[in-house]
Amino acid sequence: MVVHPELAQFVSLTRSFGVQNGVRKRELLKALAARSAWSARALRELHDALEFARAYPDDLQLRGAVQELAASLRERVDRLRDGAFSTALFDSGVPGSALAHTFSFDVVIELVRLFPGALEIDWDEWEDDAAFSDSLSIVLAPGEDQGLEEEGLTLRAWCVRVRPAELTSDLEFLLGLFRRAELPPRVRAQLWDACGVPILYHLERPGTGRIEQELPCAALHFQTTEIERERFPLEPAIRERLAKPKLLSRAAARRVLDVALATLAARALEIYPLTFASDEDVELVDCGRGLGIVLSGVRPERRSALESLHFFLVTKNGVPIAYGPASVLFGTCEMGINLFPEFRGGEIRFVYAQLMRVLHQRLGVEHFFLTRYGMGEQNEDALASGAFWFYRKLGFKPTNPDVETLARAEEARMAREPGYRSDRRMLVRLSHTEAYFDLSNGACRPLDLGTLGALQSRRIASEFGGDRAAASEACTRRATKALAERDFARWPEPERRAFAALAPLLCLLPELPRWSARDRSALVRAIRAKSGRSEAPSARAFAAHPRFARELAALAASAAADATKLGGRAVAPRG
């Protein structure tokens, strides 16, 4: 086993700062760069330490040394093709390694575009490809599917037999068959995704590795003192005026989204609002101290009927350190940042405050909430990280009064017994609650979208016999009449589509025809804004329509009460 005392020292110093620590880190980096013999495990440890050090550099000289050593990792991995390579570096994201993941159809398309030849089907892990063969018969030319039925011929052998000579990848061959199939895009993707195609992603091409992902940074921020465990009040930080965001050109936005996609893919991750992000709606927000936030909306055809979906990527000195989705509706947003593990121990309270600041000022969020899962219920990662206490220290309040009583008792014990910490059993008890941070003085609350969705399904079943097309046409007609919208036929097609998506829900509001002209006009403007270049104006417009939010909440509450009485079967209201 190769021992690296300099590596152990460097790892221990990555989160320590000051003049002497900076000098020592530079000395250690020089010694590490000079070493030629490395074990796979040591390279993985070095990689993670370099990730943190390039995001939190002491000075320009140290950052340069970190980047130089990071750039040599691929070559060092290439020299290391012993028996330990596949085990120790697999799924690590280290340049030159590999990972396995069942990427979705749309993500595979983008990764193949970015890194042709880097992905292949993981045939050894595909235990049953029968479902895929059945789907494949739909996209082949008539009669071709009989070739799949030859006795003893595996799907892998069929690919080798029939794929064009210029293609060396079974994945790219099969992907091409699906892409060219005369099927709606969502149907193609669903056919592929339902089969759970296992993918091997080789991080051998430049730009595939975790440590190779970086965005431009206007001004580097150097960490000259220890990272503060700040306990500043959250609300003033959220309300502090932001610098003007930078709206990116489509070309620049595409580059940023590609980096975000590669960042997640190198960690075997993907997320819907990034997969379908719009390159016409990408902002960069400078939050100070080298912290930047990318905020992107989704393409109009992939937007939700009611919520506004966004993707965010948090960077420190251009290095991606966290990501997540933001689903905004009526001024509310489920809170949650997925901080990459190698950046834990940094300025997490500052990061949370800045994300909440961006969501508040750019999307009109006044109420941040956490689900029970986010608090640790059936979530081992959240329990292990003490998520309940982290959010409580931020200022989030539990909705369950029993949990609030329990938390206060724990706090009293901590005050009496210095060093006491809640054990796992206690954290499980504390997790049985939602939590919230409210800037609206109670005006904003999360909406029960699941109950509203079930109501719409019941209405379509009871009135239209399950015919969705007939329901959409009838509800669109009724809703335009209720809103006194006589020019609907002259709206642009994307706006009509956005309205039609919401129409079945609008028809469940019995008071809608009796709204004031002002309320009706405001709702129409909010719906039409759903199909704009950015969905942010729509999010703010819905947040500024309290009557719509109030009546939907009342509808959901009534349906939930009825469902409880009837043993869970929601009944659609008449009207």
How confident is the model over 442-499, as pLDDT tens digits?
Answer: 999 999 999 999 999 999 999 999 999 999 999 999 999 999 998 899 999 999 999 9
The long-range contacts involving 571-574, CB below 8 angstroms and separated by at least 24 positions, are: 571/458, 572/455, 572/456, 572/458, 572/459, 572/462, 572/463, 572/508, 573/455, 573/508, 573/510
**CA gap 270, 478 in Å, rounded:** 39
**CA gap 63, 54 in Å, rounded:** 6
Q: What is the pLDDT at residue 335?
A: 84
- Dihedral angle over CA of 474, 475, 478, 481, nearest 10: -120
What is the identity of the amino acid at 429? R
Q: What is the pLDDT at residue 311?
A: 97
Residue 84 CB coordination number (10 Å): 13
Structure confidence at residue 350 as a pLDDT band (50, 70, 90): very high
According to DSSP, residue 367 is labeled: E
Spatial CB neighbours of 452, under 8 Å, sequence gap ≥ 6 = 505, 508, 552, 555, 556, 559
Place of tokens 């097609």: 493
Residue 470 CB coordination number (10 Å): 13
Q: What is the pLDDT at residue 82?
A: 61
Structure confidence at residue 85 as a pLDDT band (50, 70, 90): low
Q: What is the pLDDT at residue 203?
A: 94
Structure confidence at residue 81 as a pLDDT band (50, 70, 90): low
Residue 177 CB coordination number (10 Å): 17
**CA gap 433, 446 in Å, rounded:** 14
What is the identity of the amino acid at 205? R
Return the structure tokens found at 230.
């700040």
Which helix (DSSP H) or strand (DSSP E) does residue 122 occupy?
A: none
Return the structure tokens found at 529.
């804004």
Q: Looking at the predicted structure, is the pLDDT value of residue 273 above 50? A: yes
Spatial contact of 532 and 497, defined as CB atoms under 8 Å apart: no
Among 277-286, 287-296, 329-338, name the one with the lowest average pLDDT: 329-338
Q: Looking at the predicted structure, is the pLDDT value of residue 337 above 70? A: yes
Question: Which regions of 147-203 does DSSP assign to beta strands (E)?
Answer: 199-202
What is the identity of the amino acid at 73? L
| pLDDT tens string 150-179 | 767 788 888 888 888 888 799 999 999 999
Spatial CB neighbours of 207, under 8 Å, sequence gap ≥ 6 = 114, 115, 213, 262
Q: What is the pLDDT at residue 168?
A: 79
Structure confidence at residue 189 as a pLDDT band (50, 70, 90): very high
Q: Looking at the predicted structure, is the pLDDT value of residue 231 above 80? A: no
| pLDDT tens string 523-566 | 999 999 999 999 999 999 999 999 999 999 999 998 887 766 66
Q: What is the mean pLDDT of residues 23-40?
A: 92
**CA gap 407, 414 in Å, rounded:** 10
Among 114-123, 387-396, 536-545, 557-566, name the one with the lowest average pLDDT: 557-566
Q: How far is CA 223 from the centre of its chain?
A: 28
Q: Across all residues in the chain, what is the average pLDDT?
A: 91
Higher pLDDT, 315 or 217: 315
Return the structure tokens found at 150.
């030859």
Q: What is the pLDDT at residue 574?
A: 44
At residue 205, the 3 state secondary structure works out as coil
Residue 175 CB coordination number (10 Å): 19
Spatial contact of 79 and 129, defined as CB atoms under 8 Å apart: no
DSSP 374-397: HHTTT-HHHHHTTHHHHHHHHT-E
**CA gap 33, 65 in Å, rounded:** 9
Share of the chain above pLDDT 90, in %: 76
| CA end-to-end span of the chain | 75
Q: What is the pLDDT at residue 542?
A: 94
Q: Looking at the predicted structure, is the pLDDT value of residue 361 above 70? A: yes
| pLDDT tens string 484-518 | 998 899 999 999 999 999 999 999 999 999 999 99
Which class for 498: exposed (0-12), middle (13-18), buried (19 or more C-beta within 10 A)? buried
Q: What is the mean pLDDT of residues 238-257?
A: 95
Higher pLDDT, 214 or 136: 214
